[in-house]
A and B are shown apart, each in its own frame.
Chain A
Amino acid sequence: MKKQKQEILSTLIDDELTNNKEILDNLISNEEMKDTWARFHLIGDCLRGNLPKKIDRNFSSNLKKIIANEPSLFFPNKNYKLVKEPIIGFAIAASVAIFAVLGIQRADISPIETTASTVHMKKEIVDSKLDTFSFPDNYVAPANVEEINEYDFLSNQRLNNYLINHSQYRNDLKMNTVLPYARIVNIETED
Chain B
Amino acid sequence: MEEFLIRLQESDFGVWVSSAPTLLAYPTILMLHTVGLAMVVGPAWVLDMRLLGFGARMPIEALRGAFRIMWIGFAINAATGIALFISEADEKGLKWIFWVKMASIAVALIVTSRLRRVVFGGGKVTEMVPPQAKMLAVASLALWFVAITSGRLMAYIK
A and B interact? no
Binding site for B on A (CB under 8 A): none
